[in-house]
Chains A and B, each alone.
Chain A
Amino acid sequence: MQTLGMPHGTLSLFYIFHFYLFGLIGVISALLFVTRKSPVAAALWLVSTMFCLAAMYILLDAQFIGAVQVLVYAGAIMVVFLFVIMLLNLGQGEGIDVRGVGWKIVAGAIGLGILAQVFALTRAKTPVNLTLPQGYAAEQVAQHGAVAPIAAPLFNEYLLAFEVTSILLLAAIVGAVLLGKQKEARDVA
């Protein structure tokens, strides 16, 4: 684990190579995702992007989140998406849902515009006095493991938010069930 992280001071070429690799694969997968006509293909390309992101999280010393990304996003959420796509039988015959070339060009221009603006905004200097010493996160992981550094704040400072989130999930489950059952309920009524 520690070798993947940032060794004190310098970054290994190995590390940098993999970061760019996963980044590029992720971006390409994402581009394919938005351009595939078939929803199933699109969803699968998105899964690919998710995996790349998980890898990048791990490279950024967030091993726990990386694991969760694979479990929750790539595993659970995307499976649900695929499940719904297949349930509704959207594989084909829905007609082309992608807009025409003109729309794409304008949308691309807007996208590039936003990108340019975001880059312009990142010229701002990061506040130095808040910055942790380099390699601090990796050290934490080395000392306490991958889960403890995130578990400690989650169950101390953010305990209330954590509990509220559980209620949110409960509400979402109830809501989803209600929405899914709505037609039958109306029929019964």
Chain B
Amino acid sequence: MLPLLQAAAAGTHPLQGTAASWLWAVPLLPFLGFLINGAFSIVSAYHAGPADPTLAHGDGHGDRHGTHDEEHGAHGDDHHQVKRHPFAMLTSIVGPGVLLLSFILTAAIFFAMHGAGEIATPFIQRYFSWMPVGDLKLDAAFQLDQLSMMMMLVITGVGTLIHFFSVGYMQDDPGYPRYFAYLNLFVFFMLLLVLGANFPVMFIGWEGVGTCSYLLIGFWFSDKANADAGKKAFIVNRIGDFGFLIAMFLLFANLGTLDFDAVRAASTSLQFGGALVTAICLFLFLGCAGKSAQIPLYVWLPDAMAGPTPVSALIHAATMVTAGVYLIARTGFLFSIAPVAQIVVVMIGALTAIFAASIGLKQWDIKKVLAYSTVSQLGYMFVGVGSGAYVAGVFHLVTHAFFKALLFLGSGSVIFAMHEAYHHTGSHEDAQDMRNMGGLRAYMPWTWALMWIATLAISGVPPFAGFFSKDEILGGVFARAQHSTIADAHLFGISGSAWLYFAYLLGIVAAFMTATYMTRMMIYTFHGPNRTGDKEREHLHDAPWIMTGPLLVLGILTLAGGWINIPEFARFLGPVGALERWLDPVVGASTQRVIAGAAETSPGLEYGLVGLAVLIAIGGIAYAATRLDPKSLVPKREAVPEEGFEKVLLDKYYVDEIYDAAVVTPVVGTSRGLLWRGVDAGLIDGLAVNGSALFARFVGWIGSQLQSGQLGTYAWVLVIGVLCVLGAVTIR
């Protein structure tokens, strides 16, 4: 389908001729799904004509739908009649189907790669020359190496599960094919992002996932709050994209290339710790901060929860938001020679981790808790990749994709059940507020069990996945604080070593908070007495199997996912450091450069750190379990407002309000007062537009005076013109 202009290394690459030759089909399949589902959506919209309000709101009492985003549910329910989309059945096959095929192909490529043994160079497929402009020669090319392979597995694997979950979650939605079209398109762009062999191709994916994120956050766009959340995500991300672009410009201007491979080769000529490479890395990190919701650009992610919950799971937890982590791992060869930038990344990551975790402590909306938890965990990942522990950061990315997807889908099941229950009784309570839940364990045992697994994993309790990855990050930071190129660098006159110790401390505290707020969420949701309401209670039950099934698979992955990179001290579990060896061709050199040949931390210290981490995790859980009393909690409508610091936390440190006052209001004010009334209406409309129109009219008036219609005059003018032209020729 795509003409293969030139294969990498002229057929000498070990992956040549294997399943990896079909690399292009992996993103193309979801794109095909997008086209088909999009066609379903357009065709049906064309036939349906103007939106029928009873169809658009399915359930017929649509005045308060803004407060809960789950509007549809209820199977075989006589309370109201749900009209399924005419193409619902086909969409249910195509949407997850293409993803499943894509995943199978990815798995085949993985086994081909695994079987090919040690592969030192990336497998690059060039499809066509995209932008041959002057010195800039860009190909539409894909690059398959161990890192992108791993990302592909996560994206297609977790993506497939979430697609299946969505079938159950969304199939009564009137926009069902549109939803799957967007979701398929997202996967396509995400794969483009991780497969791109140069920065611009990656940037296409980067922007594409942003677009899909925008489309899906505002999926229920008839509600202004949702549309606004989408816009917020899009605009905040623009700031980050600006950084990404500047970084690309700097790279091209100084290295003359944008291919990852070529940049890696050329980066050796950059001065270690020089201003240029530091600037490039910081601008890249600005892009990451936008996409991966780090301070100061994290504000869009909690609002992004306005989208359907599976979207939150796929885009805003498992894949898209980790693109920044991927980018830093991908460009590790740059970051590893810019220690100051690394310190910035680590500190921003650590601050984000603790800041978001503290907000998560007091949220009542179950999805908001998970949103801040995601921000916090992304902070951990940046601490990992920022400190040059690329494997640890990427490892956490993978495990986080598992357990956070599980948590989000679990919360989706809960919301689904809650909404359905409220639906039956026609109540308008908030289906996402934990104060309206409680004691759900008895009604949804599967969800309860699986979400506990994920909670233990994110808290860092062994042997769940999160324990290994989080421990590796914290251990990595501690080790690098002792000896590394970062430790030798200085930022604001403070040594990198001190910064890293501080980051470690923040990480430990954030880990404690993580365990606490997650346990709080679980207790308030599943334990204690039920506060949903007497009538509603009998309608609560586990979600159908199409939804619980993916949860189960994710639960297994959460349980065992940590074993892909078993640390030294747990060698009884299996082969040590599989992921580290797998990723070594990509990030190994960069990592070595950062740790600068330092000795491993002593086993005693390492055991101590691990013990401390476990202690912190269990301590956090125990703290939450003992201090919180779900019995004293009252439903949302009876709750008294919080006071003091609790209120500050609940209101998220007023960051949105500060941004409003510091950025939005002045910008809007300037836009209205100065730019609109002054510049636009006054200068541009008044002087430029009307002025030039007046000027043109004036010149035209002069010209029209010349057009007397008198042939004699014309002849005179013509002859004088001839005289002048001849004169000019003669004189010359």
The answer to whether A and B touch directly, with their CB atoms under 8 angstroms apart, is yes
Contact residues in B for A117 (Cβ distance below 8 Å):
723, 726-727, 729-730
Contact residues in B for A120 (Cβ distance below 8 Å):
730
Contact residues in B for A91 (Cβ distance below 8 Å):
none
Partner of B729, one of A110, A113, A121: A121
Question: Are A110 and B730 neighbours in the complex by a CB distance under 8 Å?
Answer: no
Which residues 667-715 in B have Cβ within 8 Å of A in the complex? 712
Which residues 714-732 in B have Cβ within 8 Å of A in the complex? 719-720, 722-723, 726-727, 729-730
In the bound complex, what is the Cα–Cα distance between A113 and B730 (angstroms)?
A: 11
Question: Are B720 and A121 neighbours in the complex by a CB distance under 8 Å?
Answer: no
A94-114 CB mask vs B (1 if < 8 Å, else 0) is 000001000000000010011
Count A interface residues, CB 8 Å: 8
In the bound complex, what is the Cα–Cα distance between A118 and B723 (angstroms)?
A: 10
20 CB contacts below 8 A, A to B, read A99-B712, A110-B719, A110-B720, A110-B723, A113-B723, A113-B727, A114-B719, A114-B722, A114-B723, A114-B726, A117-B723, A117-B726, A117-B727, A117-B729, A117-B730, A118-B726, A120-B730, A121-B726, A121-B729, A121-B730
Closest 7 CB pairs of A and B: A117-B726, A120-B730, A117-B730, A113-B723, A110-B719, A114-B723, A110-B723
- Which B residue sits closest to A109, measured CB to CB? B723
The distance from the CB of A100 to the nearest CB of chain B, in whole angstroms, is 12
User: Interface centre among A110, A117, A121, by most B CB within 10 Å?
Assistant: A117
In the bound complex, what is the Cα–Cα distance between A117 and B727 (angstroms)?
A: 7
Contact residues in B for A114 (Cβ distance below 8 Å):
719, 722-723, 726
- Which B residue sits closest to A116, measured CB to CB? B730
In the bound complex, what is the Cα–Cα distance between A99 and B711 (angstroms)?
A: 14
- Which B residue sits closest to A106, measured CB to CB? B716
In the bound complex, what is the Cα–Cα distance between A121 and B723 (angstroms)?
A: 13
Residues of B within 8 A of A (CB): 712, 719-720, 722-723, 726-727, 729-730
Contact residues in A for B719 (Cβ distance below 8 Å):
110, 114
In the bound complex, what is the Cα–Cα distance between A104 and B479 (angstroms)?
A: 104
Total residue contacts A-B, CB cutoff 8 A: 20
Contact residues in A for B722 (Cβ distance below 8 Å):
114
Which residues 106-137 in A have Cβ within 8 Å of B in the complex? 110, 113-114, 117-118, 120-121
In the bound complex, what is the Cα–Cα distance between A117 and B722 (angstroms)?
A: 10
The distance from the CB of A95 to the nearest CB of chain B, in whole angstroms, is 15
In the bound complex, what is the Cα–Cα distance between A113 and B723 (angstroms)?
A: 7
In the bound complex, what is the Cα–Cα distance between A118 and B730 (angstroms)?
A: 8
In the bound complex, what is the Cα–Cα distance between A122 and B730 (angstroms)?
A: 10
- Which A residue sits closest to B712, measured CB to CB? A99
Contact residues in A for B730 (Cβ distance below 8 Å):
117, 120-121
In the bound complex, what is the Cα–Cα distance between A120 and B712 (angstroms)?
A: 28
The distance from the CB of B195 to the nearest CB of chain A, in whole angstroms, is 61
Contact residues in A for B712 (Cβ distance below 8 Å):
99
The distance from the CB of A1 to the nearest CB of chain B, in whole angstroms, is 38
The distance from the CB of B724 to the nearest CB of chain A, in whole angstroms, is 10
In the bound complex, what is the Cα–Cα distance between A114 and B730 (angstroms)?
A: 11
In the bound complex, what is the Cα–Cα distance between A178 and B719 (angstroms)?
A: 32
Contact residues in A for B720 (Cβ distance below 8 Å):
110
Contact residues in A for B727 (Cβ distance below 8 Å):
113, 117
The distance from the CB of B711 to the nearest CB of chain A, in whole angstroms, is 12
- Which A residue sits closest to B729, measured CB to CB? A121
Contacts A114-B723, A117-B727 supplied; 14 other A-B pairs, CB < 8 Å: A110-B719, A110-B720, A113-B723, A113-B727, A114-B719, A114-B722, A117-B723, A117-B726, A117-B730, A118-B726, A120-B730, A121-B726, A121-B729, A121-B730
In the bound complex, what is the Cα–Cα distance between A164 and B729 (angstroms)?
A: 34
The distance from the CB of B530 to the nearest CB of chain A, in whole angstroms, is 92
Contact residues in B for A110 (Cβ distance below 8 Å):
719-720, 723
In the bound complex, what is the Cα–Cα distance between A121 and B732 (angstroms)?
A: 11
Contact residues in B for A121 (Cβ distance below 8 Å):
726, 729-730
Contact residues in B for A113 (Cβ distance below 8 Å):
723, 727
In the bound complex, what is the Cα–Cα distance between A114 and B718 (angstroms)?
A: 13
- Which B residue sits closest to A111, measured CB to CB? B719
Which residues 138-176 in A have Cβ within 8 Å of B in the complex? none
Which residues 63-113 in A have Cβ within 8 Å of B in the complex? 99, 110, 113
In the bound complex, what is the Cα–Cα distance between A114 and B722 (angstroms)?
A: 8
In the bound complex, what is the Cα–Cα distance between A114 and B720 (angstroms)?
A: 9
In the bound complex, what is the Cα–Cα distance between A168 and B495 (angstroms)?
A: 92
In the bound complex, what is the Cα–Cα distance between A110 and B720 (angstroms)?
A: 7
- Which A residue sits closest to B715, measured CB to CB? A107
In the bound complex, what is the Cα–Cα distance between A110 and B727 (angstroms)?
A: 12
- Which A residue sits closest to B720, measured CB to CB? A110
- Which B residue sits closest to A120, measured CB to CB? B730
In the bound complex, what is the Cα–Cα distance between A118 and B712 (angstroms)?
A: 23
The distance from the CB of A146 to the nearest CB of chain B, in whole angstroms, is 36
The distance from the CB of B377 to the nearest CB of chain A, in whole angstroms, is 82
In the bound complex, what is the Cα–Cα distance between A122 and B712 (angstroms)?
A: 30
Contact residues in A for B723 (Cβ distance below 8 Å):
110, 113-114, 117
In the bound complex, what is the Cα–Cα distance between A79 and B719 (angstroms)?
A: 29
In the bound complex, what is the Cα–Cα distance between A120 and B723 (angstroms)?
A: 13
Contact residues in A for B726 (Cβ distance below 8 Å):
114, 117-118, 121
User: Interface centre among A99, A113, A121, by most B CB within 10 Å?
Assistant: A113
In the bound complex, what is the Cα–Cα distance between A117 and B725 (angstroms)?
A: 10
In the bound complex, what is the Cα–Cα distance between A113 and B722 (angstroms)?
A: 10
In the bound complex, what is the Cα–Cα distance between A122 and B726 (angstroms)?
A: 12
The distance from the CB of B708 to the nearest CB of chain A, in whole angstroms, is 15
Contact residues in B for A118 (Cβ distance below 8 Å):
726
A10-39 CB mask vs B (1 if < 8 Å, else 0) is 000000000000000000000000000000
The distance from the CB of A99 to the nearest CB of chain B, in whole angstroms, is 8
The distance from the CB of A101 to the nearest CB of chain B, in whole angstroms, is 16
- Which A residue sits closest to B722, measured CB to CB? A114
In the bound complex, what is the Cα–Cα distance between A110 and B730 (angstroms)?
A: 15
The distance from the CB of B517 to the nearest CB of chain A, in whole angstroms, is 91
User: Interface centre among B712, B722, B730, by most A CB within 10 Å?
Assistant: B730
In the bound complex, what is the Cα–Cα distance between A121 and B731 (angstroms)?
A: 10
In the bound complex, what is the Cα–Cα distance between A120 and B722 (angstroms)?
A: 15
In the bound complex, what is the Cα–Cα distance between A158 and B712 (angstroms)?
A: 37
The distance from the CB of B145 to the nearest CB of chain A, in whole angstroms, is 67
In the bound complex, what is the Cα–Cα distance between A115 and B369 (angstroms)?
A: 95
- Which A residue sits closest to B725, measured CB to CB? A117
In the bound complex, what is the Cα–Cα distance between A44 and B119 (angstroms)?
A: 102
The distance from the CB of A160 to the nearest CB of chain B, in whole angstroms, is 31
The distance from the CB of B725 to the nearest CB of chain A, in whole angstroms, is 9
The distance from the CB of B712 to the nearest CB of chain A, in whole angstroms, is 8
The distance from the CB of B49 to the nearest CB of chain A, in whole angstroms, is 49
The distance from the CB of A121 to the nearest CB of chain B, in whole angstroms, is 6
